[in-house]
Structures are given as structure tokens and as C-alpha cells.
Structure 1
């Protein structure tokens, strides 16, 4: 291999490590890869920027806008109200999968899971069921639906765009539907008959150490009337008496050493950890003030509600502290407590940097709740029911979305043009605000697509693709194209779990096309294998954003995804090896 090929290998390995570690944002990783390829002269500046004008990148951006219009206009409200009537958890799981899978073929699956997550949590709370029994199947169903159409997920669009660069005919909008529908039905049957028995039956939120037990961290100020005045924290026995656990003692701007031995004074702020109900009970009985509420509560008699909201995947609020995100001036909201799964926070709430999956307990004006629910940076987990019918804007958004699918499906307009026209129509129709489309856009994914696409060019230009294919063909031997197809599918599935679905498509489409050429068969079956393997990531909570969302909300362990997801991947792989050669023959008859 040439030195450029070796350098490209090193860049790929480093990128995989950064993608898997999640310590560096995915869009930043892609930009680092792009910069390294340009600086080292592996790709030209023109080639480096070509990803941002690629059809897949433009289409994904437009589809984000269309999904935003569907979500903001209330198209899904009647369906969520219907599902709220279900009382049995197993029936709710089935109903949600049957509802989400078809919707996932046209609506961004992150938006779908965000819309149905509060509903699932409310029903689970009402029926006394662990959310872990419902949320993972819901996330899987969104992925199953996304693979059913060309526009259902960004990885499908990316695979189609890269396939065209290798001289293949574009895929149709519904070309994946037959196989996707079979896989979705098989997946739902598996999850109902087998998968649900592998899910955890309850989630124990308590941590092993008593000091770390509980969920939320809150700041409570000692009042002049508190019976704790003059008492040492150790003597107060807060854990035994109230079920809350003191973490730190703040006196003015000072953080006290040996806080358990300090005698409490009026104005001291206790940083405590525990279940929210127990924190509230402790606050009431010990006559304490919630420090942030006392400090930031607005004036007036506006009715206020207590809301839980989770920091969403790809949220712009990630890495910022509460002062920087401006909950007080944006929504008139006061953050009272913070829950971060698996960690014990010991910093003041105002100084804590938010992470994906953090759950904030906020006090907010009731009139501001609709605005807060529309903010894609957060997922409101205890959203109240909305009894309104479908609005005019909702009907308009649904009509525009159907028109985009029809126009692109009938090949009257190219998919990017149809999607852009649909986004403009939704904006003119008021389906979302003028600024909403920019705030609701998942810029991380768009930057990732534009910046990672030149990596595929580098793999081709340096001859690395040919080297990988030669090694792979030695491994497959003379077992025929089906064995080669299986190898491509499994390799794509593995890379997807390690680094995400879009980067794995960029790495694998060129390799898949070269494998097909080496086995003297049509390349389309191999590109389809890449698309399906990348869009159905079930084995880890980090392989797909919907998995990440329910991982935090459902309290799962990493191994829970492996127990349920690996057999599901095996099922999909087996069905794909049977169906792909039927729907996309290795040796197609000319004219068919």
C-alpha cells in the first residue's frame, strides 16, 4: 500500500476511536477527518467541500425541516391521545410499535421517539410498569420504519447518493419498502414474543452506596425557622429520617470542608441527593427554601407548573451550564434539581455542565409550557394532555408531506428538489416559525454528512478499498456471492455499532461495490445490504440516536441492548440474506 493508504487507515482508526468514545462531538470528529485529509493532500479542497453540496446532505436538511413541520403543527396529537387510552403495558408496546413503524418511514425517527416518549412514561407511571418494558421496543420500531423508504433515514439517502457515484441507477423512494415491511413485521413479532422476556422487569435506581442513593440533586437553603439550625449534618441523620443524602454544604461562596461535621446556620445551602418526592417532603418538614426558586422566582401571580425535561441527543445545550442556557429569560423557568444517571453531582446547579440524558426539574409558568415543549433541545417528560383536535396547520403539514412523497415517488421531481419545495411550502403555510426551522435543524448530522463524505473518496483514491476487498475475498474464498453479501452486511453492522450509521455507510458503500465487481455480480444487492445493516442498529445504546434517548429515559444497562438487540440483528441478517437476492438479484435480467 502507498503511504497515503496507510495514513487513511490511521485516520479511519482514530475516527472510529473518537466516534466510539463519544468524548468528541460527532460533527467535530468528521471535521477533524476532513481537515487531516486536506492537509495531507489526500483529497483536494474541491473534493473536500463536495460533501456539503451532495444530494444526500441537502435532502437530509430538507427532510429535517419537513419533520419539524409535522411535529410542530400537531399532526401526531390525535394518535397520541388515542394511545393514552391504553391501560395494559404489553398492548401499549404493541400499539406504539404499530404506530411508530409506518410513521418512521417519513418522519425523522428522533422526532417520533421524542413525541411518544412522554406518553409512554405517563402510561407506565399510571399502570405501575417499568418504562424499560416499553421504551426499547419503541426505539427499535422507529428504526424499522426508517429503513422502509429511501427518505426514512439519512443513511438510506447517503447510500443512494454514493451508489450513484459508482455508476448505479438511483433507488426509488419505495424500493426498500417490500423488504423493510417484512423485516419490520418480523421484528415486531420477535419483540412481542421473545424480546420482551429479555427486557428488565424493573429498574432499581438506587446505587450501591447509601450516600449515593436517589435521583435528583437539589440546593436547599436553611431558613430562620428550620429545626436543623445549630445541628451538625451528621447528627441530623437525613438519610435515615428523610431518605435524602447531603453531598456538600455551601456557606456564601464557600464550599465547606468536612460538611458532615459543620453546624448548620441560617442562609447555608445544602446540596442534597434523593428522589424528588423525598426532597420535597424533607424541604417541607425541615422548613427549607429551594435556593434557585428563592433566588430566581419571577414576580406575579401567573400559575406555575412543575415539569421534568431531558436534554435531548444533539442538543445545543450540551456542555453548557444553567446560566448559559438561559432558562430564566427564555421561558421564565427556574431549575430546581438535576438528575444525571450513574453520577453523583457535587457542584452547584448553576455551575454544572449539562450532558445528554440529564433530567431537569423546573418550575415554569403554565402559559410558557407550549413554547418549552416545542424546544427540540429538550424533551418534556411529563407533558400534559392536549385535548384539541387536529388544527388547520396540521392538515396542511400532512398534505405537504404526502405531496413530497408522491412527487418524488413518481419521479416528477428529484428527491432533493421535492423536499426543498415541501420545506418552503411548510414555512409559507406557517407550519413552523421563521426561526424554528434553523433551531430545529440537527446541524450535527448535516455537518457530519458534509464532512465525512470525502473520506469515501480518500478510500477509493488511495487504493485502500481494493486492498480491503482483496483481503475479504481471500476470507470468503470460493463460497459465492451470498457469502460475500453476508460479509458486507456483518461488517457494516459491526462498524455501525462502533461509530454510527452514517460513517459506516461512507466506509462500506465503496467496498461493497468493489466486492460485487470482484464476484462478477450486480452491486445493488450489496449497497442494499449496507443500507439495511446501517439503519438497524440494535445492539448498543450508542449506535443510533433513538437508542441513546431511551437508554437514559428507561434506565437501561448497556448489556440490556445486547441481550435484546443481538438476536434481532441476527434475525434481520438471516432474513436479508434470503430476501435481498430475491428483490435485487445478483444477475438481473436486462430490462427488469
Structure 2
């Protein structure tokens, strides 16, 4: 007969349920709920310590998550991802996928899901997601599907891919190792792959077609208010435009770019082409077409200032005020480049000013008016000097240009870190930390900008989830739940036993941790198999599968937390999309085990 759980075990389960309910209701922020959870555990264990422990041991359980290797690993991975973004290292991959998404959004997403699945079969899915997240954030900024609609499906595909082989995740290795210690033969790499592939085919339509529709659009809805800037791109010898017609280069450009008054025929060096687009689209068009939106000597002067000072090159939006000397001047007659060493790469004219007389000079250059918004490139001190001296008001549209000179270096650092972690030369924590340090030392990521790479929400959530996992394990709550499961399974058929074990481990892994679920679930599977006279292997596989079905909460797995900030997800997003996927996978995997082992 199953005894009553200890008071500590009951309290641990109550705190876990309360945290889940608070997350699901969404009335308080995730940060507040996480900190309250940590506080409750700390205060409770201080006044009512676990058996054989002192009050300070309880504090170590509550606050240990802030120094846990899992949190440090996640932060290091965020820094690595930031390094790829700020150096533009992923631009080629992003442009390739962008062309696929332009051809067809659904096919582009399907192709991406296959990439995530296939890579995760042989490479730990955490570095796979670290590589893919920045690419899809960049794609969202370029007009493809919003990150909120792609990152959750990609995460699910990578988790299923990691489930397909014994080396796909560290949890798989842990379960197989425990099973071997208990007397089961070692499984090969592809021992259970056919079962997982069958389940993946069943789950794919949901992940591909249904899940994105269940998720909101996290893009800021300002598309109709975005300023459009006019610029003149000069064709250079090395330009993509050189020797081509407009119809040949238009498909490669970002959405929103428009050409004006283009003469038919091939583009030639020195030719200036009138183009309009948003701030981001203009930058992308300049990069893709390798054209010049300002005199080459000005651009070289800006690059020299960047190399000498180490300051990033920025592009800032500035509006012309009534006191500015620029009013009625054109860019060539303004002397801006000579005086300040900055380049105006575009001009936006509000609708209220369009139609005024004498807007253009005799050679077609725009005469600046009060209210015009200039898109100005340079280093910060030069930009501030220009704004102050010529009475310009800096707006919110400040963007740092990617440090492309370090793109290959950042990609190499990420590649080596992923490789070392994937083949087991270094633990992923050490590989990620080493990569993050190299990102700092080489200047790919600057120390004063590291805050942009980290998410406070993710940090406190990880710390709270680690505390919850430890208290569930050390209070005896997990062991008691396992005993309760063993007692109830004796009345079920073999097929339902498999499903029940998988559901139990799935619940445990979504609220505690994969390691806890594996450690508790594997011995239970052996004990149940012995009591019911069943072969242990399918029951152990039910545990292994359940440990990986971590879709329903953000605290279930570290990649769930990695995508949380970039996708702007709430706790409820994981529940509403993850629970159906868990049910699909549990059903499909259970049927696969029953058919494979003839139960």
C-alpha cells in the first residue's frame, strides 16, 4: 500500500502546481512569478528544512539556479547567437532561406523544419537551435514569417529529431546508461529510429500547418507608419547591378524596395539609380547590390574612423528643424560630408510637404525642407556633432551596422563551439563559455552591449525551474509519484502501461527536469516490467520518449527558454501548442512500441 507523502513532498507538489497555474493565468509577469517561487522555496526551507539538512542548505537549493551550469550555458549560447547577428555572419544563410520563403512561405517553413530535424538527430539540438534562432529572427526582420510563428515549430522539430537516436540528446544517453547498469543490453544509435520517424510523420502536419496559426505575430505593427526614404545608388565596377537589367536584380532585393525613373537597358558603372524603401530595406539593398548611396571617399573616411576609434558605424534618423541651415540646400551643396565626416544615405519627405514647388534642383537633387527626415551614417561622435551644429533632431531609428569584418571570425567561433560540443570533446557548457569569451576577446560582441544578448525573463525563469526540479527530487515527491504509478499500472493492459509510463515521465519532465525524469522513470520501468512479466526494453523506451516530450512548458528544456525572448512567447503559448503535440506524440509512439514489440 502506498503511504502518504511527506510534508515536504506535498509542499513541493503544491508549489509546482501553484507556479503552473500562475503562469497559465498570466496576470503577473513571468519574472515576478519566478522570483516569488524562489522566495517561497527559500523561506519555506529555511524555517522547515529537509530531513538531515540545515536552513542554509535550503537556501542553496532555492538560489542555486543562479549559479547552475544550465543557466550559465544558456547565457553563453545567447551571447554566441548575438555575435552572429551583430557581425552579419548569418546573412548568406538568411538570404538563401529568404528566397525560399519568397517562393512559398509554407515550403520555406517545411524545408526549415527538415533541416532542424535532420541536424538534431546527430548534433545536440541545443546548438542547432542556437544556429537557427538568429537566422529566423533576421528573416522576420526582412519580411518573412514572424519569429513567433517559426521558432516554436523549429524547436519542436529539433526536439523530435533529437529523440530519434541514442546520441540525439544527453537525456537519451542518460536513460540508456541507466538501463545498461540495470542489466539491459546497450542500444545502437538507430535502435528506435523507425518508431520515432513514424511518429514524426504523424506530428509533422500539426507542427508545419497548425502550430504557426496558433501563435501570435510578435512583429511591431508599424508597417503602415514606417518612413520611406529616397536615395540614389551609384553603380560601381563590383556592383551586382553592373551589366544587368532591373528585372534580373529585383528578385534578390528585400520587399518594399521600389525603383523610380529607371531607363531601360543594362546598368553601367557610374550610373545613379533612384530607389526608395524603409530604413531596413535601404540598408539591405545597399548590401545586396553592392552599390554606393554616398560618395566613396566619404564611406572610406567613415570606415577609417571606425577602425581608429573602434566605435560602431551607426545609421540614425534625424529630422530637419526650422533653425537648420540645411533648408533649401541639396546634399551636394550642403557640405555635410566635408564638415562632419558623415554620409546622408536617404531622405524621407512627409506627405504634408510633398507637392511643394522647387523640391528639386536643376540636376534632380532634393532640396531639404523643414520636417524632412535624413538617414545619416557615421560613428556616434560625428553624428552628434552634425546634429548639434546643423540643428537636427535625432529620432528613435538608430541602428548599428553589422561589423562584417568580423563575420567569418564569429562564424568560426560558433562553428568550433558547436563541433566540440556535438562530438563530445567538451561539455556544451564549457564549449559555449569558451565561445562566448572568444566573442568578447575578439570584439565580435562588446562588453558594454552584452545586456542586449541576455533576457532577464529567461534568467529568472531558468533559476526558478532549477529550484523546482531540485525540491521535487530532494523532497521525495518524484519518488512518491513513481511508487503511486507502479501501484496503479498493475490493473492496465500492456499497451496502456506503456502510455501511462510515457505520460507520467512527460509530466515530470515538463515540471522538473529531463534528468530527474530519467533518473526516476528508468528504475520504475524496470520494476513495473518485472512485476507484470513484460519485456523491459519497450518500457524503458517509453521513459526515454517521455523525457523528450518537453513541449508544454518553457521550463521543460533549455531550448524552450532560448526561444522565449526572441519569439516573445508567454507561458500560455507553450501550453496551447505543446499539449496537443504531446498527445499526438504519446499516442503515435505508444502505438509504435506496441506494434514493434508485439504487446
Aligned to 1:5: 9
Question: What's the CA shift for 1:464?
Answer: 2.3
- Equivalent position to 2:545, from 489, 513, 529: 529
Q: Supply the distance in 1 between the matched residues of 2:449 and 2:174 (Cα, whole angstroms).
A: 28
Show CA shifts across 1:251-290 (max 9, x none). Answer: xxxxxxxxxxxxxxxxxxxxxxxxxxxxxxxxxxxxxxxx
Question: What's the CA shift for 1:31?
Answer: 1.9
Is structure 2 residue 38 aligned with structure 1 residue 34?
no
Question: What's the CA shift for 1:32?
Answer: 2.7
Aligned to 2:73: 59
Q: Supply the distance in 2 between the matched residues of 1:178 and 1:463 (Cα, whole angstroms).
A: 33
Are the structure 2 counterparts of residues 395 and 469 from structure 1 closer, same or farther at C-alpha, using a change threshold of 3 Å? Answer: same
Aligned to 1:477: 490
**In the alignment, is the contact (CA less than 8 A) between 2:89 and 2:411 conserved in 1?**
yes
Show CA shifts across 1:420-451 (max 9, x none). Answer: 22222232222211233344123443443344
Q: Supply the distance in 1 between the matched residues of 2:524 and 2:552 (Cα, whole angstroms).
A: 22
Question: What's the CA shift for 1:101?
Answer: 4.9
Q: Supply the distance in 2 between the matched residues of 1:468 and 1:440 (Cα, whole angstroms).
A: 39
Question: What's the CA shift for 1:165?
Answer: 11
Aligned to 1:141: 154
Are the structure 2 counterparts of residues 199 and 160 from structure 1 closer, same or farther at C-alpha, using a change threshold of 3 Å? Answer: closer
Aligned to 2:87: 73
Show CA shifts across 1:480-529 (max 9, x none). Answer: 88755533433455578xxxx57464774554245335325589746633
Is structure 2 residue 411 aligned with structure 1 residue 370?
no
**In the alignment, is the contact (CA less than 8 A) between 2:35 and 2:464 conserved in 1?**
no
**In the alignment, is the contact (CA less than 8 A) between 1:73 and 1:431 conserved in 2?**
yes
Q: Supply the distance in 2 between the matched residues of 1:202 and 1:412 (Cα, whole angstroms).
A: 38
Q: Supply the distance in 2 between the matched residues of 1:181 and 1:28 (Cα, whole angstroms).
A: 43
Is structure 2 residue 106 aligned with structure 1 residue 90?
yes
Show CA shifts across 1:533-572 (max 9, x none). Answer: 115779xxxx95688779879xx9x89995x766643443
Q: Supply the distance in 1 between the matched residues of 2:512 and 2:35 (Cα, whole angstroms).
A: 13
Is structure 2 residue 466 aligned with structure 1 residue 462?
no
Question: What's the CA shift for 1:462?
Answer: 3.2
Q: How many residues align?
A: 410
Question: What's the CA shift for 1:35?
Answer: 1.8
Aligned to 1:321: none
Q: What pairs up with 1:44-443 in 2 under 5 angstroms?
A: 44=54, 45-46=56-57, 47-48=60-61, 49-85=63-99, 86-99=102-115, 101=117, 105-107=125-127, 109=129, 112-113=132-133, 115-117=135-137, 119-120=139-140, 123=143, 136=149, 139-146=152-159, 148=161, 187=200, 191=204, 196=209, 364-365=396-397, 368-370=398-400, 391=404, 393-443=406-456
Question: What's the CA shift for 1:574?
Answer: 4.2
**In the alignment, is the contact (CA less than 8 A) between 1:452 and 1:506 conserved in 2?**
no
**In the alignment, is the contact (CA less than 8 A) between 2:80 and 2:436 conserved in 1?**
yes
Are the structure 2 counterparts of residues 304 and 59 from structure 1 closer, same or farther at C-alpha, using a change threshold of 3 Å? Answer: same
Are the structure 2 counterparts of residues 4 and 567 from structure 1 closer, same or farther at C-alpha, using a change threshold of 3 Å? Answer: closer
Is structure 2 residue 11 aligned with structure 1 residue 19?
no
**In the alignment, is the contact (CA less than 8 A) between 2:148 and 2:568 conserved in 1?**
no
Are the structure 2 counterparts of residues 184 and 403 from structure 1 closer, same or farther at C-alpha, using a change threshold of 3 Å? Answer: farther
Are the structure 2 counterparts of residues 407 and 97 from structure 1 closer, same or farther at C-alpha, using a change threshold of 3 Å? Answer: closer
Aligned to 1:323: none
Question: What's the CA shift for 1:416?
Answer: 2.5
**In the alignment, is the contact (CA less than 8 A) between 2:38 and 2:467 conserved in 1?**
no
Superposed CA RMSD in Å reads 5.8
**In the alignment, is the contact (CA less than 8 A) between 1:70 and 1:398 conserved in 2?**
yes
Show CA shifts across 1:376-432 (max 9, x none). Answer: xxxxxxxxxxxx9xx553322333333233333444333332332222223222221
Question: What's the CA shift for 1:72?
Answer: 3.0
**In the alignment, is the contact (CA less than 8 A) between 2:81 and 2:131 conserved in 1?**
yes
Are the structure 2 counterparts of residues 11 and 148 from structure 1 closer, same or farther at C-alpha, using a change threshold of 3 Å? Answer: same
Are the structure 2 counterparts of residues 2 and 177 from structure 1 closer, same or farther at C-alpha, using a change threshold of 3 Å? Answer: same
**In the alignment, is the contact (CA less than 8 A) between 2:65 and 2:467 conserved in 1?**
yes
Q: Supply the distance in 2 between the matched residues of 1:16 and 1:580 (Cα, whole angstroms).
A: 31
**In the alignment, is the contact (CA less than 8 A) between 2:171 and 2:514 conserved in 1?**
yes
Q: Supply the distance in 1 between the matched residues of 2:130 and 2:155 (Cα, whole angstroms).
A: 8
Q: Supply the distance in 1 between the matched residues of 2:323 and 2:118 (Cα, whole angstroms).
A: 44
Aligned to 1:518: 527
**In the alignment, is the contact (CA less than 8 A) between 2:159 and 2:548 conserved in 1?**
no
Aligned to 2:365: none
**In the alignment, is the contact (CA less than 8 A) between 2:160 and 2:200 conserved in 1?**
no
Give the SS at the match of 2:443: coil
Q: Supply the distance in 2 between the matched residues of 1:177 and 1:524 (Cα, whole angstroms).
A: 16
Give the SS at the match of 1:435: helix
Q: Supply the distance in 1 between the matched residues of 2:550 and 2:396 (Cα, whole angstroms).
A: 40
Give the SS at the match of 1:405: helix
Q: Supply the distance in 1 between the matched residues of 2:323 and 2:592 (Cα, whole angstroms).
A: 61
Question: What's the CA shift for 1:142?
Answer: 3.1
Show CA shifts across 1:144-203 (max 9, x none). Answer: 2256459xxxx966898999999989xxxxx99997898589657854599537976999
Q: Supply the distance in 2 between the matched residues of 1:510 and 1:467 (Cα, whole angstroms).
A: 13
Show CA shifts across 1:319-339 (max 9, x none). Answer: xxxxxxxxxx99x99xxxxxx
Are the structure 2 counterparts of residues 484 and 215 from structure 1 closer, same or farther at C-alpha, using a change threshold of 3 Å? Answer: same
Question: What's the CA shift for 1:62?
Answer: 2.7
Q: Supply the distance in 2 between the matched residues of 1:442 and 1:162 (Cα, whole angstroms).
A: 31
Q: Supply the distance in 1 between the matched residues of 2:114 and 2:578 (Cα, whole angstroms).
A: 19
Q: Supply the distance in 2 between the matched residues of 1:5 and 1:192 (Cα, whole angstroms).
A: 40
Aligned to 2:503: 490
Q: Supply the distance in 1 between the matched residues of 2:323 and 2:466 (Cα, whole angstroms).
A: 49
**In the alignment, is the contact (CA less than 8 A) between 1:304 and 1:364 conserved in 2?**
no
Are the structure 2 counterparts of residues 215 and 182 from structure 1 closer, same or farther at C-alpha, using a change threshold of 3 Å? Answer: same
Is structure 2 residue 456 aligned with structure 1 residue 449?
no
